[in-house]
Structure 1
Amino acid sequence: MYQKRISGFTIIELLVSMIIASIIMSLCWGVISFVQGYKSRIETKAEEITQGARVEYLLSKDFQACEAYKLSTGHLQLISEGREIDYEFGAEVMVRILKGTRDTLGVCMNVSIEENAPGVLRTCLFFGENSHCFQLYQIVSSENQMNNTIETY
């Protein structure tokens, strides 16, 4: 019987090809990890922007419809047509509670609201390293009708 012997050169070729394959696999894994991390950062930023827009929309809508409001540290109470809407601001969370219903919304972000002048609320939303600030204005006309505007900056 004839036995074929494996030469040392063939073994070296095999080892070199295995090393090259492992380097290529490592590079591919690094690219995949980078792409997944980048995608995750983009999704997180998009979620923060969406949450910020939702908070701004709800606050402006509620403030525009309110007849009276009371602002204290960590709490904003809006009263309109017998309805009460409470905004509670805690550590990294905002909760909107519509009294008399089960309509409750919680958002994970820092919210800061302060009154610059009567009828003007300055609101800042903080998420991560980013912030989004806007002002709510309450304008009372001569017929005691309330017109409200919102300004984002």
Structure 2
Amino acid sequence: MNIVKRRNADFPSIFDDLFQTDWFGGIANSNTHVPAVNIKETTDEFTLELAAPGKAKEDFELSLDHDVLTISTEDKKEETTTEENYTRREFSFSAFKRSFKLPQTVNKEHINATYTNGILNVTLPKREEDKVKPKRLIEIS
């Protein structure tokens, strides 16, 4: 979905990448450091796989506000070393936030998440009435 209308198709707008979204409603990756997300759909559920190695499950915050699922993490490290003639202070900060507008077919009461080997897996089960039913034959009486 491209929000910016181009006047000249040969001259790309700098806003094109900024306003593009992926099919699930999250902001598309550009040149920022945002973990990649794989989205898979089966007949029973959607699965989000987010690659975030080096984290612990406690580092993640998942929240659901109406139809928007937000995954975020924040990491702060600070180290101070004082020796006889010098003091060294180093710090780093990293954070990301991904938000996804969920389809109406998701059963929001049964969303769950696991974090294993650097991959955050979020399972979004479909509502029973929205699951694809197998084809069946109807007898003629």
When the two structures are superposed, what TM-score results if normalisation uses the length of structure 1? Answer: 0.26
Ranked by relative contact order (alpha carbons within 8 Å, sequence separation 6 or more), the top structure is: 2
* Structure label with greater radius of gyration: 1
